[in-house]
């Protein structure tokens, strides 16, 4: 990987400069808000076109995914400016002139616009009427509300008895709503629908959910897959709390004015260590038995005659202890609020409820799909799902899916895929991107920038 030397008169930081020219493998640049990620992505685009003859690529060989239409327009403008400047310095350069004229055809857009163009152009390859109209968010949401009312009415009426009994339906409603109001269940259905729609295969994902709760109500909690998933969080939290108490202890040790609190800190530290040990070496149940021993008693205050220095140390030690206390209280309120046996029983009882919920969600999805079909409407999520269908080889059911001929065409065309705001790309969108990009991670055809901390949707 060769990166040109950075001239002294450019604005870019060393890290930005590296990101602009890096090659040889897929790159994810994660940096804070406003740190210049988009600026780096645009500069990289420009440099791809201004590169030497053997390295440069045509603008229409790039797939650029932006977060908004406005930022797509800005990128085009910035690229046009850079090209015009380069042409000004080298008026006879026909390659550059051609790039300027190709810019309109370049695939720089939001992922939805890209999917829309795929759906329009290749509708004939799947069972999709190319005359569809794109529903606005408001329109789709109104239609969704209608369908929701309709579906719940049918369910209550008993029209879905082949799927679940009325008792099963009421058990579901009662577990989520305190007063049998429909709002809670509507919200739940809507959320389930939303989360399922960002999976490449929503129904498969939904149907697999209840299996996670296929639990013998008498098995020890430590044997459950779900428990094994949360265990590392509990352990990390206990370790952190112990470390805070230890720090507090180090501060008060040897300071006469503060040492009166030493027994308190020591007792707390040792109780936390015991719970941690139980969780790591013994069992969740043992940790549950030991956790009430962690009691945060009253810390002895300072007296008037203590010095300013003592006061400061006292405040720092107390801060450490307070944060340990917060962490432990959270644990007590969540994973240790009840006997682990009860958790297992509850989870095991969840399975049939979840089964009803999944069936109802699928009914709702189907009804919404049909309502859209009757009106010739597609919503934003449909664009992605139909685009995915077009890009997948219809005979293949592998993960990741095999590319269709249309996808192979894109793979041949796009030399590099660049994605802005990558933290908001969900699993379905990632699958689409993987299908249109060529090569693997080692080929370095993908460049992503994002701020992982700003993530808003990725479930
Ligand atoms: N090295 C730099 N020196 C001076 N200005 C810079 C530098 N890098 C970026 N900028 C400027 O900082 C501003 C913010 O940059 P940019 O929009 O690219 O950030 P971002 O990381 O994409 O932000 P966001 O997280 O909001 O998407 C822009 O005006 C950009 O031109
Ligand atoms: Mg940005």
* SS3 per residue for the chain: CCCCCCCCCCCCCHHHHHHHHCCCCCEEEECCCCCCHHHHHHHHHHHHHHCCCCCCCCHHHEEEEECCHHHHHHHHHHHHHHHHHHHHHCCCCHHHHHHHHHHHHCEEEEHHHHHHHHHHHHHHHCCCCCCCEECCHHHHHHHHHHHHHHHHHHHHHCCCCCCCCHHHHHHHHHHHCCCCCHHHHHHHHHHHHHHHHCCCCHHHHHHHCHHHHCCCCCCCHHHCHHHHHHHHHHHHHHHHHHHHHHHHHHHHCCCCCCHHHHHHHHHHHHHHHHHHHHHHHCCHHHHHHHHHHCCCCCCCCCCCCCCHHHHHHHHHHHHHHHHHHHHHHHHHHCCCCCCHHHHHHHHHHHHHHHHHHHHHHHHHHHHHHHHHHHCCEECHHHHHHHHHHHHECCCCCCCCCCECHHHHHHHHHCCEEEECCHHHCCHHHHHHHHHHCCCCHHHCCEEEEECHHHCCCCC
- The pLDDT, as a whole number, for residue 432 is 95
Q: Is residue 342 part of a domain?
A: no
26-37 average pLDDT score: 90
Q: Which tokens is 405 given? A: 């001929």
CA 186 to ligand 2 centroid distance, Å:
35
Atom of ligand 1 nearest to the CA of 454: 25
Task: Tell me: do 125 and 18 sit in the same domain.
Answer: yes
Ligand 1 lined by 11 (C-beta under 6 Å): yes
Nearest to 248 by CA among 298, 146, 323, 192: 323
- The pLDDT, as a whole number, for residue 253 is 93
Nearest to 242 by CA among 314, 325, 298, 312: 325
Q: What is the rounded CA–CA span in Å between residue 132 and residue 130?
A: 5
- The pLDDT, as a whole number, for residue 175 is 87
Give just the sign of the alpha carbon dihedral 132, 197, 195, 456: negative
Task: Tell me: do 94 and 115 sit in the same domain.
Answer: yes
Q: What is the rounded CA–CA span in Å between residue 360 and residue 363?
A: 5
- The pLDDT, as a whole number, for residue 184 is 87
CA 41 to ligand 1 centroid distance, Å:
10
Per cent of the chain over pLDDT 70 is 97
Which structural domain, as residue segments, surrounds residue 55?
A: 14-130+397-454
Task: Tell me: do 158 and 117 sit in the same domain.
Answer: no
Task: Tell me: do 226 and 177 sit in the same domain.
Answer: no
Q: Is residue 53 part of a domain?
A: yes
Q: What angle do CA 169, 170, 176 make, to 5 degrees?
A: 100
Q: Is residue 391 part of a domain?
A: no
Q: Is residue 3 part of a domain?
A: no
Ligand 1 lined by 420 (C-beta under 6 Å): no
Ligand 1 lined by 37 (C-beta under 6 Å): yes
Q: What is the rounded CA–CA span in Å between residue 244 and residue 238?
A: 10
pLDDT in tens, 47-57: 998 888 888 89
Q: For a substitution probing ligand 1, which of 14, 38, 422 has the most ligand atoms within 8 Å of its CB?
A: 38
pLDDT in tens, 173-195: 988 876 667 788 999 999 999 99
- The pLDDT, as a whole number, for residue 329 is 95
Task: Tell me: do 48 and 122 sit in the same domain.
Answer: yes
- The pLDDT, as a whole number, for residue 190 is 95
pLDDT in tens, 359-385: 999 999 999 999 999 999 999 999 999
Beta bridge partners of 377: 133
CA 11 to ligand 2 centroid distance, Å:
17
pLDDT in tens, 209-223: 999 889 999 999 999
- The pLDDT, as a whole number, for residue 458 is 37
Task: Tell me: do 247 and 333 sit in the same domain.
Answer: yes
Query: Which pLDDT band holds residue 459 (cuts at 50, 70, 90)?
Result: very low
Q: For a substitution probing ligand 1, which of 19, 31, 36 has the most ligand atoms within 8 Å of its CB?
A: 36
310-336 average pLDDT score: 95
Task: Tell me: do 316 and 268 sit in the same domain.
Answer: yes
pLDDT in tens, 139-169: 999 999 999 999 999 999 999 999 999 999 9
Per cent of the chain over pLDDT 90 is 76
CA 40 to ligand 1 centroid distance, Å:
8
CA 109 to ligand 2 centroid distance, Å:
14
Place of tokens 């707390």: 268
Q: Which of 101-115, 252-266, 309-323, 430-444 has the lowest mean pLDDT?
A: 430-444
- The pLDDT, as a whole number, for residue 456 is 46
Query: Which CATH number belongs to the domain containing residue 188 in this structure?
Result: 1.10.274.50
Task: Tell me: do 182 and 245 sit in the same domain.
Answer: no
pLDDT in tens, 393-451: 987 777 778 999 999 999 999 999 999 999 999 999 999 999 999 888 888 899 999 98
Residue whose CA is at the smallest distance from ligand 1 atom 7: 36
- Mean pLDDT across the chain: 91
Q: Is residue 382 part of a domain?
A: no
- The pLDDT, as a whole number, for residue 394 is 82
Tell me the C-alpha to C-alpha distance, in Å, between residue 68 and each of 65, 73, 150, 420, 430.
Answer: 9, 9, 34, 10, 17
Q: Is residue 126 part of a domain?
A: yes
Residue whose CA is at the smallest distance from ligand 1 atom 6: 36
Task: Tell me: do 234 and 268 sit in the same domain.
Answer: yes
Q: What angle do CA 197, 201, 202 make, to 5 degrees?
A: 40
Q: For a substitution probing ligand 1, which of 34, 423, 449 has the most ligand atoms within 8 Å of its CB?
A: 34
Q: Which tokens is 102 given? A: 């190709």
Q: Is residue 205 part of a domain?
A: no
Ligand 1 lined by 35 (C-beta under 6 Å): yes
Q: Which tokens is 333 given? A: 């309120």
Q: What is the rounded CA–CA span in Å between residue 290 and residue 276?
A: 10
Ligand 1 lined by 21 (C-beta under 6 Å): no
Q: Show Cβ contacts of residue 338 under 8 Å, excluding neighbours closer than 6 positions.
A: none
pLDDT in tens, 234-276: 999 999 999 999 999 999 998 999 999 999 999 999 999 999 9
- The pLDDT, as a whole number, for residue 212 is 86
CA 39 to ligand 1 centroid distance, Å:
6
Q: Is residue 8 part of a domain?
A: no
Task: Tell me: do 166 and 255 sit in the same domain.
Answer: no
- The pLDDT, as a whole number, for residue 183 is 86
Please check the confidence at residue 387 and state whether its pLDDT lies above 70: yes
Task: Tell me: do 286 and 307 sit in the same domain.
Answer: yes
Query: Which CATH number belongs to the domain containing residue 35 in this structure?
Result: 3.40.50.300
Tell me, rounded to whole angstroms, the distance of Cα 87 from its chain centroid: 42
Residue 422 class from Cβ within 10 Å (0-12 exposed, 13-18 middle, 19+ buried)? buried
What angle do helix axes 137-157 and 166-176 make, rounded to 10 degrees?
Answer: 130
Ligand 1 lined by 71 (C-beta under 6 Å): no
Q: What is the rounded CA–CA span in Å between residue 237 and residue 220?
A: 22
Query: Which pLDDT band holds residue 457 (cuts at 50, 70, 90)?
Result: very low
Higher pLDDT, 109 or 442: 109
Q: Show Cβ contacts of residue 318 under 8 Å, excluding neighbours closer than 6 positions.
A: 248, 299
Q: What is the rounded CA–CA span in Å between residue 34 and residue 378?
A: 34
Residue whose CA is at the smallest distance from ligand 1 atom 12: 36
Q: For a substitution probing ligand 1, which of 39, 41, 46 has the most ligand atoms within 8 Å of its CB?
A: 39
Question: Into how many domains does the chain fold?
Answer: 3
Please check the confidence at residue 121 and state whether its pLDDT lies above 80: yes
Task: Tell me: do 65 and 158 sit in the same domain.
Answer: no
Query: Which pLDDT band holds residue 8 (cuts at 50, 70, 90)?
Result: confident
CB 64 within 8 A of CB 108: yes
Ligand 1 lined by 16 (C-beta under 6 Å): yes
């Amino acid at each position: 990987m060769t990166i040109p030397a950075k001239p002294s008169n450019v604005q870019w930081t060393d890290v930005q400069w590296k990101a602009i020219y890096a090659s040889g493998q897929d790159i994810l640049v994660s940096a804070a808000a406003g740190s210049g990620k988009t600026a780096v992505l645009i500069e990289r685009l420009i440099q791809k076109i201004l590169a030497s003859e053997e390295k440069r690529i045509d603008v229409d060989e790039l797939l650029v995914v932006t977060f908004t239409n406005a930022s797509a327009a800005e990128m085009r403008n910035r690229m046009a400016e850079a090209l015009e400047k380069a042409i000004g310095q080298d008026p006879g350069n026909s390659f550059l002139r051609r790039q300027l004229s190709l810019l309109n055809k370049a695939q720089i857009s939001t992922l939805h616009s890209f999917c829309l163009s795929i759906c329009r152009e290749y509708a004939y390859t799947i069972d999709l009427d190319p005359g569809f109209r794109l529903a606005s968010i408001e329109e789709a949401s109104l239609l969704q509300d209608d369908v929701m009312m309709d579906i719940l009415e049918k369910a209550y009426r008993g029209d879905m008895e082949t799927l679940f009994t009325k008792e099963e339906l009421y058990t579901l409603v009662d577990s989520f709503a305190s007063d049998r109001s429909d709002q809670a269940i509507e919200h739940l259905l809507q959320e389930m629908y939303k989360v399922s729609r960002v999976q490449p295969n929503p129904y498969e994902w939904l149907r697999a959910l209840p299996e996670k709760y296929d639990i013998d109500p008498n098995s020890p909690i430590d044997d459950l897959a779900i428990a094994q998933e949360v265990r590392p969080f509990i352990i990390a939290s206990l370790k952190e709390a112990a470390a805070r108490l230890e720090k507090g202890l180090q501060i008060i040790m040897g300071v006469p004015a503060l040492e009166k609190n030493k027994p308190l800190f020591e007792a707390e530290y040792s109780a936390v260590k015991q719970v941690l040990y139980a969780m790591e070496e013994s069992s969740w149940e043992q940790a549950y038995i030991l956790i009430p021993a962690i009691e945060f008693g009253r810390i002895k205050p300072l007296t008037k005659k203590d010095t300013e220095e003592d006061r400061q140390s006292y405040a720092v030690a107390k801060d450490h202890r307070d944060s340990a206390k917060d962490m432990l209280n959270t644990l007590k309120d969540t994973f240790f609020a009840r006997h682990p046996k009860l958790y297992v029983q509850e989870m095991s009882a969840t399975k049939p409820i979840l089964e009803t919920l999944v069936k109802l969600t699928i009914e709702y999805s189907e009804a919404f799909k049909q309502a859209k079909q009757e009106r010739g409407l597609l919503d934003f999520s449909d664009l992605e799902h139909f685009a995915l269908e077009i890009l997948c080889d219809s005979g293949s059911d592998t993960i990741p899916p095999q590319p269709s001929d249309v996808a192979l065409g894109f793979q041949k065309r796009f030399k590099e895929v660049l994605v802005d705001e990558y933290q908001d790309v969900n699993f379905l969108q990632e699958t689409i991107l993987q299908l249109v990009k060529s090569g693997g991670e080692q080929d370095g055809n993908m460049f992503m920038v994002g701020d992982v901390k700003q993530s808003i949707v990725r479930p």
